[in-house]
Structure 1
Amino acid sequence: MTPRRKRLAIAAGVLLALAAATALVLNAFRSNLVFFFTPTQVAAGEAPQQRPFRLGGLVRAGSVQREGVQIRFIVTDTQREVPVAYTGLLPDLFKEGKGVVAQGALGPDGVFVAREVLAKHDENYMPPEAAEALKRAQAQAPQAAPTLVENGR
């Protein structure tokens, strides 16, 4: 093998290894990417059906039901509502009427099954996506907030 062909083979090997590493990194990034959706977007069918995502909004007052470590509550953006089921311990700051972000997946019955629940950490903070979604929902005409299950989804 001539020196020129050796250099070409080494360069091709390096490029192949770089392409493989890039493909692995992009695949890992894509599989771990979790998007944020509001109850209105979930009701409109914009949320993925087979992949986990984050659901954000306010915990509707009077909606929290506890049975041991199983908790059910409703997340609303003042326009639409999504029922949530969670098994585990909730954060200390989790309260009705306060901001919440739940990560999980939408079940076939329309109930969002959360594997993680995050609550805001002080009176001034709400995730930017949730704050923007609530502003948009409040700017539209006020109407009753039907749940996702009531809409037949």
Structure 2
Amino acid sequence: MTRKPRNASELPDRTPSRTPTRSSGAAWLVSAAGTGLAALAMLVMAAMSAYGVINGEASTTTRALTEAAVLVVLAAGVALLAINLLRHKSLAKTPTLLWNGMLVPVSFSLISGGAKLFGVATLVVAVVSFVAALTLPRFDPDEDDEADAVL
């Protein structure tokens, strides 16, 4: 007959281990590269929009400049994700998954809109970055994920 524990200190420890499972450095790098490439593409599109205003090709100046400003702000946010992925910050996993997931319908829109090459490139980058980000560890607020994250 087994003896029952008298107090909590005699009970077996059933708390899960707090050691995070770290994925390979390649997954962090692939996810950061794809996300950084998306930020760079948005900066290029913003520059093209601004160039259209300067060159007089834009239909309306206000619309083109607003589009460029929105693209610059989005690119800054996505660049911060890429920086945090390079720094192995697990806090960047969920927004990276969301961002790359949202790029999939954008890529289909590009493909059906006549920009097939850009659409396929966007789709490939989004899917590869998404799959790489899936392997990253999830954020655990109890773990030391270094509070100095850029996000």
Query: TM-score, length-normalised on structure 1?
Result: 0.26
After TM superposition, the score normalised by the length of structure 2 is: 0.26
- When you count strand as a share of all residues, which structure comes out higher? 1
